[in-house]
């Protein structure tokens, strides 16, 4: 598979202190990269830099071989779909109208979306399984459905790369799994995905690769099993973390352990 | 009808750009600026055409003052524009008071007060030619950009991720909306509430999508103004200033809409 995304020695700073520096990794078509890291480590900022929302202080982001610094916002938006962590919509757009907005980079500046765009928006809704919600308003949806609507809007951009900023945050257990299933489905259709998550175990479920953003740099970029191990996870989060193989499920799990937990005393 | 349509179009555009359904066309100090321009005209020359030109010129001046102030205070986006609009407004309101204070209480003062209350009665067809060009240009651009206003209402970062040049787009829309507003104010005086209430009525009829909302606002605004003007001319023997009627009709209507809880926004 060809290289879709190449991030090279990326650095970003709000003031003098860099949020992160020397961040490098690359991604091929259909791969899912899970980025882990504590609160405030700059995971969201990293995604926004890749999406072209923030301008990095140094380094480069190449999408399908072309530098985003010279591509221009419209070209970037045709290749990269960004799904924000939270969104606050002031006006009660219908889901269909909302997803149609993902067609913006494909529409000339004075035009409005046409029949073809409408078709693509409906397809995007169908892919994430909420086609029946097309006429509902965003505010009437549950958290899980909202997340799906956001992903559908990014899909309507027909991107090669999807950036998901903590797509499972604030969702219940079942909805988290539904989102992960959607991620898996999209990746198998050939879309590359970079996903921030607070749950290391999600990397085992959907990740082809993982990395940890911590102390202003990307600690490890590797196969999931090489990144999500008890040693690295414990040092990244500063708590005790165990990784075990579950035999009958044939997969590894990552679990946290409380410091003073002593089974013999209960 | 032109005035009503202009004020409503400007109002609905501003609401989208500022992501706030409580915004009115006078937000950038255009009302106060034009008001002062007209006062100056009444005080110094007392020529109908000069008054209009000055009102128009000072409306634009207020806009550019607010915009340049908003751009200097970097980074906060829409909030900066709103704040500088308030500043500019208060300066021009003070200047209006000063103009009233020095005006001849028997001749000029009543004229100033009457103008500030808004009236369509003294407009001649010749005057229309002066304002029709800026109004037409401004409305046309807003009409063509109506899909992009949807995108801007999502917020800066999301709009940027969809490939929209947010700063440029916002500036263009603000300038056009202000142009249209100051053209309207320059012939009719300060007519309140239309630019606030009409977008809400329209939003209740066709929903929040600017593709339909903006043309609807134009039509509803024009009809509303025609109705109010008829009322103003027929209810009593002497014509009641329009600003009074729009406030008397608009404010309770707005209160009723709020109570009904069907404001068309979250």
Average pLDDT of adjacent 10-residue blocks, chain B of 266 residues: 75 76 74 82 74 79 80 64 82 84 76 73 68 86 90 88 88 86 80 81 86 88 84 76 81 77 50
User: What's the pLDDT score for residue A59?
Assistant: 92
CATH number, domain of A55, equals: 3.40.50.300
Contacts of B263 (CB under 8 A, 6+ apart): B21, B200, B203, B204, B257
Per the structure, the count of domains in chain A is 1
CA separation for the pair B2, A266 (Å, rounded):
79
User: What's the pLDDT score for residue B228?
Assistant: 82
pLDDT greater at residue A38 or residue B119: A38
User: What's the pLDDT score for residue A180?
Assistant: 95
A window 158-197, beta carbon within 8 A of B: none
pLDDT greater at residue B125 or residue A71: A71
Mean pLDDT of A168-185: 93
B154 touches chain A (CB under 8 A): yes
Q: Is the pLDDT of residue A266 over 70?
A: no
Q: What's the angle, vertex CA A80, arms to CA A78 and CA A82, rounded to 5?
A: 120
Q: How many Cα atoms are found within 13 Å in the side-chain-facing hemisphere of B209?
A: 17
Q: Taking CA atoms, what residue in A is nearest to B204?
A: A92
Instruction: Name the phi and psi angles at A82, rounded to 5.
Output: -110, 130
Å from A77 to nearest chain B CA?
5
Q: Is the pLDDT of residue A184 over 50?
A: yes
CA separation for the pair B242, B235 (Å, rounded):
12
CA separation for the pair A10, A132 (Å, rounded):
41
Residue numbers of the domain that contains A224: 3-265
Q: Taking CA atoms, what residue in B is nearest to A153?
A: B162
Q: Is the pLDDT of residue A25 over 90?
A: yes
Q: Is the pLDDT of residue A127 over 70?
A: yes
pLDDT greater at residue B246 or residue A63: A63
User: What's the pLDDT score for residue B120?
Assistant: 66
ipTM, two decimals, is 0.86
User: What's the pLDDT score for residue B266?
Assistant: 42
Contact B16 A91 (CB under 8 A): yes
Q: How is domain B2-260 classified at the CATH fold level?
A: ABC transporter involved in vitamin B12 uptake, BtuC (1.10.3470)
User: What's the pLDDT score for residue B264?
Assistant: 47
B131: closest CA among B171, B175, B176, B181?
Answer: B181
CA separation for the pair A137, A91 (Å, rounded):
9
User: What's the pLDDT score for residue A262?
Assistant: 60
| Strand A209-214 with A32-36, pairing | parallel
Q: How confident is the model at residue A100 (pLDDT cuts 50, 70, 90)?
A: very high
pTM: 0.86
CB atoms within 10 A of CB A119: 10
Cβ-Cβ pairs closer than 8 A, A with B, add up to 86
Contact B265 A91 (CB under 8 A): yes
Residues in chain B with CB shorter than 8 Å from the CB of A73 are 160, 163-165
User: What's the pLDDT score for residue B125?
Assistant: 67
Please name the member of A75, A80, A93 whose beta carbon is closest to the beta carbon of B209.
Answer: A93
User: What's the pLDDT score for residue B119?
Assistant: 66
User: What's the pLDDT score for residue A34?
Assistant: 95
| Dihedral sign computed on CA atoms, order B166, B172, B175, B177 | negative
Mean pLDDT of A86-98: 86
Q: How confident is the model at residue A11 (pLDDT cuts 50, 70, 90)?
A: very high
Please name the member of B19, B163, B211 whose beta carbon is closest to the beta carbon of A104.
Answer: B163
B142 touches chain A (CB under 8 A): no
């Amino acid at each position: 598979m060809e290289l879709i995304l190449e991030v090279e020695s990326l650095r970003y700073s709000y003031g003098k202190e860099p949020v992160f520096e020397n961040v490098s990794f690359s991604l091929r078509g259909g791969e899912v990269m899970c980025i882990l890291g504590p609160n405030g480590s700059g995971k969201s900022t990293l995604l926004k830099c890749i999406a072209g929302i923030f301008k990095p202080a140094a380094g480069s982001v190449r999408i399908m071989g072309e530098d985003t610094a010279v591509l221009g916002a419209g070209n970037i938006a045709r290749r990269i779909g960004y799904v924000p962590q939270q969104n606050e919509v002031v006006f009660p757009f219908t889901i269909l109208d909302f997803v149609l907005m993902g067609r913006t980079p494909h529409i000339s500046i004075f035009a409005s979306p046409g029949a073809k765009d409408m078709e693509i928006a409906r397809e995007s809704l169908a892919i994430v399984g909420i086609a029946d919600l097309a006429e509902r308003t965003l505010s009437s949806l549950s958290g899980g459905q909202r997340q799906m609507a956001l992903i559908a809007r990014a899909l309507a951009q027909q991107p090669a790369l999807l950036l998901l900023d903590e797509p499972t945050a604030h969702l219940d257990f079942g909805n988290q799994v539904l989102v992960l299933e959607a991620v898996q489905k999209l990746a198998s259709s050939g879309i590359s995905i970079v996903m921030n998550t607070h749950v290391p175990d999600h990397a085992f479920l959907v990740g082809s690769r993982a990395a940890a953003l911590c102390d202003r740099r990307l600690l490890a970029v590797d196969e999931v099993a090489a990144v999500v191990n008890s040693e690295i996870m414990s040092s990244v989060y500063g708590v005790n973390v165990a990784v075990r193989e579950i035999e009958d499920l044939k997969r590894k799990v990552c679990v946290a352990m409380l410091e003073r937990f002593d089974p013999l005393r209960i | 009808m032109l005035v009503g349509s202009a004020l409503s179009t400007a109002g609905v555009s501003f609401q989208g750009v500022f992501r706030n359904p409580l915004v009115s066309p006078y937000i950038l100090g255009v009302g106060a600026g034009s008001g002062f321009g007209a006062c100056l005209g009444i005080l110094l020359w007392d020529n109908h055409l000069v008054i209009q030109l000055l009102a128009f010129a000072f409306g634009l001046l207020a806009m550019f003052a607010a915009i340049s102030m908003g751009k200097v205070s970097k980074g906060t986006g829409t909030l900066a524009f709103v704040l500088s609009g308030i500043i500019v407004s208060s300066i021009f309101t003070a200047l209006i008071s000063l103009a009233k204070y020095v005006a001849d209480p028997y001749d000029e003062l009543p004229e100033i007060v009457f103008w500030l209350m808004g009236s369509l009665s003294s407009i001649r067809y010749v005057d229309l030619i002066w304002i029709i060009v800026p109004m037409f240009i401004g409305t046309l651009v807003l009409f063509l950009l109506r899909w992009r206003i949807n995108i801007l209402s999502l917020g800066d970062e999301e709009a940027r991720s969809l490939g929209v040049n947010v700063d440029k787009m916002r500036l263009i829309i603000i300038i056009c909306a202000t142009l249209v507003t100051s053209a309207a104010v320059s012939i009719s005086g300060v007519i309140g509430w239309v630019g606030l209430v009409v977008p809400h009525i329209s939003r209740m009829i066709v929903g929040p999508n600017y593709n339909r909302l903006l043309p609807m606002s134009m039509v509803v605004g024009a009809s509303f103004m025609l109705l109010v003007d008829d009322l103003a001319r027929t209810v009593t023997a002497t014509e009641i200033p329009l600003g009074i009627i729009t406030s008397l009709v608009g404010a309770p209507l707005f209160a009723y809409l709020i109570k009904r809880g069907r404001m068309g926004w979250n």
